[in-house]
Amino acid sequence: MVIKPMIRNNICMNAHPDGCAAYVAREVAYVRSRGKISNGPKRVLVIGSSTGYGLSSRITAAFGCDAGTIGVAFEREGSEKRTGTAGYYNTLAFEAEAKSAGLVAESINGDAFSHAMKEEVVGRIKKLFGQVDLVVYSLASAVRTDPDTGEMYRSVLKPTGKGYTTKSIDPMTGEVKEVTAEAASEEEIRHTVKVMGGEDWDLWMKSLLSAGVLAQGAVTVAYSYIGPDLMASIYRAGTIGKAKEDLEEKAIRLTDTLKAVGGKAYVSVNKALVTRSSAVIPAVPLYLALLFKVMKEKNVHEDCIQQIYRLFSERLYAGGQVPVDDKGRIRIDDWEFRSDVQSEISRLWPEASTGNIGSIGDLEKYRTDFLQMHGFGFDSVDYEKDVQP
């Protein structure tokens, strides 16, 4: 079939296999251009490995550290009538790139929240590596089933305490308007923490530790975001912020747990980037359009792969003590939160309108990133060609 992007309510419903391969190849090329990371991990497990920061972590480990990798993700395969998800095609492309470079790369598709998946991964680690040096937790899901009770939890992206009205933008049309989000209920907050907090990360690490598959000195890192003050109500003070607080608390407890193998747990606070969910969170698309413009002008803009390569090379495996903030978090969002960057965004925010967003923001960069993470918008890909999905 000829595959063109199908976008509904700012969500892309399909993906292009050739474009996803181009996306992966570009990230691999970047890592190769930067060279090898000294003292990097050699046996890596990435939980949530198929898109975004998880995919970039797997690529950086493989091509920056010559690591064998196991990836865990829950993606839909393609069929004769329907494309697979971008993550499905990304995983195929990554495996092809890694194996052509002589690297071990195996992927397991299924529910990472389940006990069965944890058991399967333990078995795969024993077979392939014996133990792992690094565990990356980059799982993003709207739904989680508790593996013990069978109860299903659904996360929401809402403010807490009271409703929130702010500016936002429709990234596909460029229309800037006010939007209102209702406050979350206590039940919704609890559900969001259950899905997006640190409980599953904790279960994963304890399962790996008890099975004896964590190497001496093993490191685990999970990804978080703080966000600027102007988005605090919907983000850090919202339901997702409650979940991130839980994740960060788990890191402290996990470090105590991992003392048994001399290990360490970190939360890395990463830069704001386009994701599948960001297009539907009030204020976030507008903030990103302004952020991209300002950071590019100051020559400090980074995409996923640049962020993760810097995390590995300048934080986790730079030698010596890993630099953290007063709450024990790695801050790889440091360039986003430079005072000159944030002060400029704060100046531009009240001025932003449908008429001027094209000049004061970089909405084109937002759209390009949105399309390319689904395999569309690459000059090297013939989108008129028949493709087997």
Residue with tokens 């989000």: 181
The verdict on whether 235 is a catalytic residue reads yes
The token pair at 196 is 């997006």
Beta bridge partners of 159: 238
Task: Give the Å distances, CA to CA, from 195 to 66, 145, 205, 305, 384.
Answer: 33, 8, 17, 26, 40
The token pair at 331 is 């801050």
The active-site residue, picked from 153, 225, 235, 366, is 235
Closest CA to 138 of 214, 210, 44: 44
Rounded to whole angstroms, the Cα distance separating 195 from 201 reads 11
Cβ-contact 62, 40 below 8 angstroms: no
Cβ-contact 68, 103 below 8 angstroms: yes
CA torsion angle 144 148 151 156 (round to 10): -30
Rounded to whole angstroms, the Cα distance separating 191 from 282 reads 20
Q: What angle do CA 232, 236, 242 make, to 5 degrees?
A: 145
Cβ-contact 340, 298 below 8 angstroms: yes
Which residues are catalytically annotated?
235
